[in-house]
Each structure stands twice: as C-alpha cells, then as structure tokens.
C-alpha cells in the first residue's frame, strides 16, 4: 500500500480525500494532519468516516512525521504550502498540493492576484499544473503537482478546446459560475452561514477572483470571471460565453477533444450539478448561436470532487503509475 499523508485532514477537502481513499485499492492514509483538530479522533471530526477509519487520529504537523510516507496530499489555505513545500520536496516525497501557491507560472502574477510576495518563487518551476486532461504526460513525469482550482477546472475544460480549435476569439471570454457553499471551506463564516445563504443567490469577487489568473494561463486568453454563491452544499455550474470566429459546431469540438477521457462526458442536454455530485465526473455541452455570433459552453463539476479531492487523486494515480481511474467514479449521487 502507498502510505499517504493528508495535510488539512480536518477540512471538507481532507474529508473527501479520505472518503475516496477508503475505496482506493492502493492509497492508505498513514498520517492525518489538522492543527485545529489535533488530538481528536477522526470520527469526531468527520463522523461519516468512523467506520472506515475507527482508530485514526488527527495530528499536529511535524516534519519528522513524514518519515515512511510515500505520498503527500495538501488541502490547505493559500500561503501555507509555501512554508512546507521545500521540506516535502527535499525528502523526495511525491506531492499533490491543492493550494494556489504553485499553480501560476511566475511570482509577479501570484503577487498581483493574491496580494503578497511569493515566499518560494524558485519552486514554481517544480510544479506541474494539475488538470490531467491538459497535462497528462507532464503529470506522469512529475514529482510535484499543483491541482487546479475548482472554478478554474470547470471553466478551462469548457473553453480550452474551443480556443485551441480557433472557433472562438480568445479575448472575448466570459465565465459566470455558481458554486455550492462548501467551496468556501469548513470554517464558520457569517457570509456562508445558513441564514445568510438560504433562499439567496449572490455574486462576489467582482473583477478580482483569484481563479481568473489560472483560467487565463491555461486557456491562453483574456477572461472576465464572475463567481456566484448558490444555496446548496456542493457543485459548480459554469456558464461560459465567447465570440465565435465564424459559424462553427462547438459541441463537436468538445466531443472530439474529450472522446477518450474517462471523466469528461459531453452531453446534448444542459448539465446539472446533481449529475456529478460525489464523483470525479465532468458534464459539458456547447452551442453556437447564429443570431448573436456567440458560443455558449456549460460545465458541471463537483467542487469537492473533480474540483478538489477527486482531481488530486487522479493526479496522484498518474504520478505513481497507477490506473488513472483508481478509486474514482463518474457516477454521481442522485437524487
């Protein structure tokens, strides 16, 4: 078995990683780190995992605890991985990081979008951007993966094939995306509390959401992104628009681009978040509007699945030479 450490094990993504690993044939949790819940049994932090890991404990991180670990997953807020990455990489342990610290190409772009100087700019080149459908071969040969953001995953998978095929103008991209509340993390906040979000639909991060930078980097275009908070627990629906370069068939472009992909399904129906809940699946569709000369593309993902924990495991499977689909499914929980 592959002895796996999880940094941020007490959060929503950490819990989802552990849920998926319970069904994984090779990955076995060895160390569970979560400073705010250190000393507690995992079942007290994540009751749904009690049966899978009855004796597991959450620990405070210490460098010496990484001895005899074969893989590290980090699901930490941005800024934290910069303090730990060099330690993990110097030990030669394969590392999949969900934080934003190593997703971008250069420290200046990071500083612009995240508001502070990058502490480990020399390590940026060590990380492969973690969307397997874009960078599969590089991930296979990598030792450090920066898994993509949840919004970014949904938008990139919908738009990049259209830009690459030349059917849309890369300077005309617009993404409106709505996410479930779990995307804000487990920490209690007034803005994401039940009384605030129930029965409400709101936009936030106007013109400044940090996932914009990785969308533009991966897609190769200029993009206006507006995220929204929707009163549900998990899921993202991204509605993407672009000016067409001429009459085209964007549905065919997406269908051909993802024909051999195990987790991406191009459907003729408008996708719904419920279709992918609890899975690593992606549901896409696209249309060309002759009247306006624009392309519409829709993408549905689970923000905790393909947008986080599922994609991390997919990347780890590739890094470690395992079956890419091990421990993962495209089948959502419905209803």
Helix orientation angle between 310-319 and 12-21, rounded to the nearest 10 degrees: 50
Q: Between the CA of residue 85 and those of 54, 80, 92, 126, 210, what are the distances in Å?
A: 30, 9, 11, 10, 21
Q: Which distant-in-sequence residues (6+ apart) come within 8 Å of 67 by Cβ?
A: none
What is the distance between the alpha carbons of residues 237 and 299, in angstroms, rounded to a whole number?
A: 6
SS3 293: coil
Which among 54, 58, 71 is positioned nearest to 9, based on CA atoms? 58
Q: Which of 272, 269, 273 is nearest to 251 (CA)?
A: 269
Catalytic one of 150, 240, 248, 315 = 150
By the 8 A CB rule, do 162 and 295 touch?
yes
Count of CB atoms situated within 10 Å of the CB of 200: 10
Which strands form 282-289's sheet, in the order they lie side by side? 202-203, 223-229, 173-179, 236-243, 294-301, 282-289, 264-266
CA diameter of the chain: 63
Distance between terminal CA atoms of the chain?
34
Residue 150 annotated in active site: yes
Three-state SS for 192? helix
The DSSP result for 32-97, as a single string, is: EE-GGGTTSBHHHH-GGGTTT-TT-B-B---GGGGTT-SEEEE---TTSHHHHHHHHHHTT--EEE
User: What positions carry a catalytic annotation?
Assistant: 150
């Amino acid at each position: 078995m592959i002895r796996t450490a999880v940094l941020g094990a007490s959060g929503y993504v950490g819990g989802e990683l552990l849920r998926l690993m319970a069904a994984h044939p090779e990955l076995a949790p060895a160390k569970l780190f979560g400073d705010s819940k250190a000393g507690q049994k995992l079942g007290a932090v994540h009751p749904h995992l009690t049966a899978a890991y009855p004796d597991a404990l959450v620990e405070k991180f210490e460098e010496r605890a990484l001895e005899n670990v074969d893989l590290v997953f980090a699901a930490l807020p941005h800024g934290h991985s910069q303090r730990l990455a060099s330690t993990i990489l110097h030990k030669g342990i394969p590392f999949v990081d969900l934080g934003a610290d190593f997703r971008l190409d250069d420290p200046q772009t990071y500083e612009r979008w995240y508001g502070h100087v990058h502490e480990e700019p020399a390590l940026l080149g060590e990380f492969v951007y973690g969307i397997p459908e874009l960078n599969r071969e590089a991930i296979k040969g990598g030792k450090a993966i920066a898994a993509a953001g949840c919004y970014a995953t949904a938008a990139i998978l919908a738009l990049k094939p259209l830009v690459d095929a030349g059917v849309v103008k890369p300077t005309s991209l617009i993404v409106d995306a709505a996410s479930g509340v779990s995307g804000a993390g487990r920490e209690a906040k007034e803005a994401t509390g039940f009384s605030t979000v129930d029965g409400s639909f709101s936009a936030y991060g106007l013109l400044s959401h940090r996932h914009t930078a990785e969308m533009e980097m991966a897609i190769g275009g200029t993009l206006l992104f507006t995220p929204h908070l929707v009163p549900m627990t998990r899921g993202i629906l991204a509605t993407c628009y672009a000016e067409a370069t001429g009459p085209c068939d964007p549905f065919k472009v997406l269908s051909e681009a993802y024909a051999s992909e195990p987790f991406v399904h191009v459907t003729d129906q408008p996708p719904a978040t419920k279709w992918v809940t609890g899975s690593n699946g992606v549901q896409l569709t696209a249309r060309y509007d002759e009247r306006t000369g624009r392309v519409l593309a829709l993408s549905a993902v689970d923000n905790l699945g393909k947008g986080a924990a599922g994609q991390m495991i997919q990347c780890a499977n590739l890094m470690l030479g395992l079956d890419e689909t091990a421990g993962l499914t495209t089948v959502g929980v419905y209803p």
